[in-house]
Amino acid sequence: MKGIVVQFRRGRHTVHERHFLLDLGMTNREEAKKMAGKIVVWKSPAGKEIEGKISDAHGTKGLVRAIFARGLPGQAVTTEVEVKEHHKSEGKK
């Protein structure tokens, strides 16, 4: 499943560098909550991969919050991410 990086998670005075809002094509909060715990991978133009994890839904329109291991660069906004079922090191349970 693919999605789009929408924006940093931010407030009026604070930007959370590792937290991003993602649009995965969900239409409401209930659908978005089912995605919590899944792994997200962003690939840079140079081929480097940065992994993150979907933490929860954001708002009522189907966006999700993802926390990445390292912060993504600003150029990642409006680019694609890929959602995976499990982490590479985890086996299917």
pLDDT tens string 36-66: 999 999 999 999 999 999 999 999 999 999 9
DSSP 10-57: E-SS-EEEEEEEEE-S--SHHHHHTTTT-EEEEE-TTS-EEEEEEEEE
pLDDT digits (tens, 9 = 90+) for 16-43: 888 999 999 999 999 999 999 999 999 9
CA distance 25 to 46: 26
Q: Are strands 49-58 and 2-10 parallel, antiparallel or unpaired?
A: unpaired
Q: Where are the domains of the chain?
A: 2-84
Domain 2-84 annotated CATH 2.40.10.190: yes
pLDDT band at 88, cuts 50/70/90? low
- Determine if the pTM surpasses 0.75: yes
pLDDT band at 93, cuts 50/70/90? very low
What does residue 51 show for φ and ψ, rounded to 5 degrees? -100, 150
pLDDT band at 87, cuts 50/70/90? low
